[in-house]
Amino acid sequence: MLRRASCILLVPATAFTLAACGGGGSSTNSLLPSGCEEVATPPAEHRELKRPPQTVRAGEKLTASVETSCGSFDISLDTAESPKTINSFVYLAEKGFYDDTTFHRIVPHFVVQGGDPLQNGRGGPGYTVTEAPPAKATYTKGTVAMAKTAVEPAGRSGSQFFIVIAADAGLPANYAILGKVSSGFDVVKHIGTLGDPANGDAGTPLATVVIRRITIRGGG
């Protein structure tokens, strides 16, 4: 799991409950912010894929549009710094790997984390990618990066990703960076309000927020 100081793990070692909202509908759950739809937690699934060939080119302009039950936001993908990591993310998105997964970890004023079809922080795609971030890497508001355990090397990733909602998460340069939220950050902030503050860094969601799909735009 992510902690705010010293040793930080992004893929938690323990299971976490998930939360979900919906794009644009009203909710009967008083915990859900405006714009979120009350939805059921999708079933846990084992999803494994073969490692993809490298098709993303360094410097290629790509955007990931993330549709959630709380609305949509865009991520400008940093192919110049992380072509291998983004190649895997794009492949998983285009294969529908992220469809009907949840933000299983929400730590208020810190990060939101998703991308696990097991819906508990222990799942992945059946392969890993390693691409160490630059030593100067910082994890400020809107940064999107890949999660990993503390024992894995810098830049190791599977499918789980996190979005920084703090001004600065204060993380070391250990997590492969996907890019930055380029539009719709208010949606991310709304999702970030749904973590249980009593659970600290465990990030137990108070309601379910579902990733409906991730669509990749750009190229060329």
pLDDT, residue 40, reads: 95
* pTM for the model: 0.87
pLDDT, residue 28, reads: 47
Core vs surface per residue 160-186: b (16+ CB within 10 A) or e: bbbbbbbeebbbeebbbbbbbbeebbe
pLDDT, residue 10, reads: 45
Query: Which stretches in the chain have pLDDT values below 50?
Result: 1-28, 220
pLDDT, residue 199, reads: 84
- Taking only the tens place, the pLDDT of each residue in 112-150 is 999 999 999 999 999 999 999 999 999 999 999 999 999
**Using CA atoms in the order 148, 152, 156, 157, what is the torsion angle rounded to 10 degrees?**
-40
Find, among 187, 203, 73, the residue nearest to 147 by Cα. 203
pLDDT, residue 26, reads: 36
Structural domains in the chain, sorted by start: 62-218 (2.40.100.10)
pLDDT, residue 129, reads: 97
